[in-house]
Amino acid sequence: MVSEAKSAIISKMTLSVGKDPAFATDYDWFLACALAARDRATLRFLEGKRVTASDGKKRVYYLSLEFLIGRQLTDVLSNLSLLDVFRAALEDLGVDYERVRSAEPDAALGNGGLGRLAACFMESMATLGIPAYGYGIRYDHGLFRQVIYDGWQEEYPEDWLSFGTPWEFLRTDVVFNVGFGGSVETYVTPAGITRYTWHPGEVVHAVSYDTPMVGWRGRSVNPLRLWSARAVDPLRLELFNRGDFAGASSDQARAEAISKFLYPSDETPSGQELRLRQEYFFVSASLQDLLSRHRRIYGDLHSLPERAAIQLNDTHPAVAIAEMMRLLLDEHGLPWNEAWAITSATFSYTNHTLLPEALETWPLAVFERLLPRHLQIIYFINNLHLEAAKKAFPEEPELLRSVSIIDERDGRKVRMGQLAFVGSHAINGVSALHTDLMRKTTFRDLNRIYPDRIQNKTNGITFRRWLHQSNPGLTAILKEVCGAEVVDNPEVIERLAAHAGDSALQDRIRAVKLANKTALAKVIAERTGVRVDPAALFDVQIKRMHEYKRQLLNLLETAALYDAIRANPDADWTPRVKIMAGKAAASYVNAKFIIKLANDIAQVVNNDPAVRDLLKVVFLPNYNVSLAEVIIPAADLSEQISTAGMEASGTGNMKLALNGALTIGTLDGANIEIRDNVGNDNIFIFGLTTDEVSYRRERGITAGQAIAASPMLAGVLNAVSGGRFSPDDPGRFVQLIDGLRGADRYMVTDDFDSYYAAQRRVDACWNSGEPWTRSAIINIANMAWFSSDRTIAEYAREIWNVPVDL
Ligand code: 26V
Atom of ligand 1 nearest to the CA of 350: 21
> How does pLDDT run across 544-557, given as a tens digit for each residue?
999 999 999 999 99
Question: What confidence score (pLDDT) does residue 145 get?
Answer: 98
Instruction: Report how far ligand 1's centroid is from the alpha carbon of 591 (Å).
Output: 15
Does the beta carbon of 429 sit less than 6 angstroms from any atom of ligand 1? no
| Active-site residue flag, 651 | yes
- Produce one character per residue of 687-715: b if its CB has 16 or more CB atoms within 10 Å, e if not: bbbbebbbebeeeeebbeebbeebeebbe
Does the beta carbon of 460 sit less than 6 angstroms from any atom of ligand 1? no
Average pLDDT score, the chain: 96
Q: Is the pLDDT of residue 236 over 90?
A: no
| Active-site residue flag, 549 | yes
Question: What confidence score (pLDDT) does residue 806 get?
Answer: 85
Topology, domain 511-767 = Rossmann fold (3.40.50)
**Strand partners of residue 350:** 313, 428
> How does pLDDT run across 135-178, given as a tens digit for each residue?
999 999 999 999 999 999 999 999 999 999 999 999 999 999 99
> How does pLDDT run across 688-716, given as a tens digit for each residue?
999 999 999 999 888 879 999 999 999 99
Nearest-CA residue for ligand 1 atom 20 is 114
pTM of the model: 0.98
Q: Exactly one of 544, 546, 583, 592 is catalytic; which is it? A: 544
> How does pLDDT run across 260-315, given as a tens digit for each residue?
999 977 666 666 899 999 999 999 999 999 999 999 999 999 999 999 999 999 99
Report the percentage of the chain scoring pLDDT > 90: 92
Question: What confidence score (pLDDT) does residue 656 get?
Answer: 99
Pairing, β 347-350 against β 426-429: parallel
Contacts of 555 (CB under 8 A, 6+ apart): 594, 597, 598, 601
Strand order in the sheet with 202-214: 169-180, 202-214, 221-231, 132-137, 59-63, 308-313, 347-350, 426-429, 454-456
Q: Exactly one of 442, 528, 651, 773 is catalytic; which is it? A: 651
What are the residue ranges spanned by the domains of the chain?
511-767
Does the beta carbon of 539 sit less than 6 angstroms from any atom of ligand 1? no
Look at residue 270 and give its three-state secondary structure.
Answer: coil
> How does pLDDT run across 723-776, given as a tens digit for each residue?
999 999 999 999 999 999 999 999 999 999 999 999 999 999 999 978 999 999
Question: What confidence score (pLDDT) does residue 244 get?
Answer: 79
Does the beta carbon of 650 sit less than 6 angstroms from any atom of ligand 1? yes
Work out the number of other CB atoms within 10 angstroms of the CB of residue 443.
25
Work out the number of other CB atoms within 10 angstroms of the CB of residue 397.
10
Does the beta carbon of 355 sit less than 6 angstroms from any atom of ligand 1? yes
Question: What confidence score (pLDDT) does residue 177 get?
Answer: 98
> How does pLDDT run across 172-205, given as a tens digit for each residue?
999 999 999 999 999 999 999 999 999 999 999 9
Question: What confidence score (pLDDT) does residue 270 get?
Answer: 66
Instruction: Report how far ligand 1's centroid is from the alpha carbon of 507 (Å).
Output: 39
Instruction: Report how far ligand 1's centroid is from the alpha carbon of 275 (Å).
Output: 17
Judge whether 148 and 132 are in contact, CB under 8 Å. Answer: no
Q: Is the pLDDT of residue 453 over 90?
A: yes
Residue 634 DSSP code: G
State the Cα–Cα distance between residues 325 and 391, nearest whole angstrom: 24
